[in-house]
């Protein structure tokens, strides 16, 4: 069954499962050593489970009833990973097993977007309410971002405040007074692909911002 592996063995798991890992940037970031997380694998590295410190998780293993049972027991008994996790890409048999035995789970659906326009703000700035503007996330002070959104930018995904400021990409929508109203920022950037997180403050939702 699965057991924790040392960081020097992460790349072996990444290379062996690169096709699926590359589709999940947060998981790829952990296995690439870019961000902190928890990695477990069997001795052959055929089966693995990766969990980020924010709880986003991916597993790969045999599609069997026995593995499903062992995996659920492993997750429930593991005291290192976050108590609440998000499972990426579970196979149908494990999802059915969860539904029958442990309904407290969430399945994440993913979408990929490609911006082929040179101007980063493109036409979106024309859709903003009067007086609102777009700013690069790093052009707003870190303290102002944290006070407005409370997202723990330097620890939820990124390894530190400095890591976020140096490597994250994103943009804020600012209101008429220059205060943050919404943010879209990368939870990670790996192999040129970003995984994005967004938040609109409650008072601005439903207003086109």
Question: Tens digits of per-residue pLDDT, 39-75?
Answer: 999 999 999 999 999 999 999 999 999 999 999 999 9
140 pLDDT band, cuts 50/70/90, is very high
**Is residue 154 situated within a structural domain?**
yes
For residue 209, pLDDT beyond 50: no
140 and 89 within one domain: no
> What is the C-alpha to C-alpha distance for residues 177 and 154, in angstroms, rounded to an integer?
26
> What is the C-alpha to C-alpha distance for residues 59 and 48, in angstroms, rounded to an integer?
5
Count the domains in the chain. Answer: 2
**Is residue 117 situated within a structural domain?**
no
10 and 96 within one domain: yes
The pTM (predicted TM-score) of the whole model is 0.85
First to last CA, the chain: 48
- The mean pLDDT value for 82-103 works out to 86
Q: Domain of 183?
A: 124-204
């Amino acid at each position: 069954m699965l057991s924790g592996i040392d960081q020097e063995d992460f790349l072996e798991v990444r290379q062996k499962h690169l096709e699926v890992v590359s589709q999940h940037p947060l998981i790829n970031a952990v296995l690439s050593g870019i961000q902190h997380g928890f990695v477990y694998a069997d001795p052959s590295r055929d089966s693995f489970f990766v969990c980020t410190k924010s709880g986003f998780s991916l597993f790969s293993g045999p599609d069997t009833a026995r593995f499903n049972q062992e995996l659920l027991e492993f997750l429930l008994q593991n005291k290192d990973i976050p108590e609440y996790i998000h499972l990426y890409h579970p196979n149908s048999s494990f999802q059915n097993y969860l539904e029958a035995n442990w309904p407290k789970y969430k399945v994440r659906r993913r979408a990929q977007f490609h911006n082929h326009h040179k101007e980063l703000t493109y036409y979106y700035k024309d859709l903003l309410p009067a007086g609102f503007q777009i700013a690069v996330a790093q052009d707003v002070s870190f303290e102002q971002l944290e006070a407005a959104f409370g997202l723990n930018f330097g620890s939820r995904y990124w390894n530190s405040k400095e890591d976020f400021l140096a490597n994250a990409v994103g943009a804020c929508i600012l209101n008429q007074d220059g205060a943050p109203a919404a943010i879209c920022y990368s939870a990670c950037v790996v192999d040129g692909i970003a995984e994005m997180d967004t938040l609109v403050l409650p008072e601005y939702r439903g207003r086109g911002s």
